[in-house]
Amino acid sequence: MKKQFLSTLSVCGFSVITSHAVWAAPTTIASAPVAPVGTSQASASVFLPFVARVGDVAPLFNLPDSQGHSYGSRQQLGQRSLTLLLVGRNVTSAPVTSPAWPNYQEAIRALSRAASQRAEDDLATAVIFTNPQLLQTVAHDIGVLPNATALLDEKQTLQTVFGGSDDELTLVRIDRAGWVRGIETVADFASLESKMVPLVDFTSGVEVGKPAPNFSIQDTRGRWHQLAELRGRKNLLLTFFPKCFTGNCANHLSSIRDVQAQFDAQDTEVLAVSVDPAAGEHGQIAFAHKLGLKFPLIPDVNRNLSILYGAAYSPEQLASRMSFFVDKEGIVRWIDRQINVKTHGADVLAKMQQMKRDALPAS
């Protein structure tokens, strides 16, 4: 279980303050402006979390390409899964004329084959360097690959976030909803292609009878909720609503509030998700207080959970109203996309009873 402490952390020379008190919108870690060779300056930034692990939401970043144009990972949300290849500072420290250089050329060919195979699967690839001169040298080779780009991270911020090494290549796979699905080191360029395996993309559709996509996310009080931790212990009602302080959403959540004791009695946890921020006059904390809600609300500001479950398709959309019932084994048992906002809580309980009856052996 993750914990947050009120402290100041140093990330590649940047100070980051984290607090356990109240959930806040993602914090920016901004580097000093970097100037790729022969280009104008462009600012680079990476957003919290400080250390990302498989199953976490990936940190958002904006980094410059070889022309000094900013490339933002947020623009990929809902559109493409993203593969990052973090090139350690020492991996490509040899000059272009050295014997090590053919390995790099083989890496480009491997990337090309892998990217071409996955282009139709909406995969974006970003190769991230820490050396501006090397970026300029290879930018064209990478730029001609399908949905691929070369970026500069002189401060090695992403390498720190993903636990990379100066002496290794680090391959990071992020699904189109922005969740980290794989982090692994690659020994050398020659083995790169074998590691570029297709990513399991949960965002293609959540289905009844299939495992629910795992997640790890904070509620308005800063508490973490992980689907995997409920396995074997509790069911989950994951319900999405468009916006706080609207009549239909108030009715929707109030209908669950009114029967929450029955959900508790049947080992069912409730999580309510919208894209509203936690704080503020019209935020989730104020909304929950007004309605007297006891179950957690999830401020899905960047739409990671909403996109993962198909309640939204881009980082600009509100979440559509829908609910998912996940059993103790982590299997989706029911999806309600036609919610009656005034009776939803009772409707879910009735469906749970029906599923219990259907599971009984015939007499």
Cβ–Cβ under 8 Å, residues 96 and 140: no
| Residue 357 tokens, joined | 């009856």
**12 noted as active-site residue:** no
Enumerate residues 6+ apart whose C-beta is below 8 A from 173: 81, 82, 83, 84, 180, 181, 182, 183, 199
Give how far Cα 345 sits from Cα of 1, 195, 282, 309, 351, Å: 29, 46, 24, 20, 10
Enumerate residues 6+ apart whose C-beta is below 8 A from 139: 65, 66, 150
Beta bridge partners of residue 126, listed in sequence order = 84, 149
Cβ–Cβ under 8 Å, residues 110 and 196: yes
Q: In the chain, what is the greatest distance between 2 CA atoms, to the nearest angstrom?
A: 80
Pick the catalytic residue from 249, 291, 297, 326: 249
Rounded CA gap, 205 and 182, in Å? 20
Q: Which residues are catalytic?
A: 249
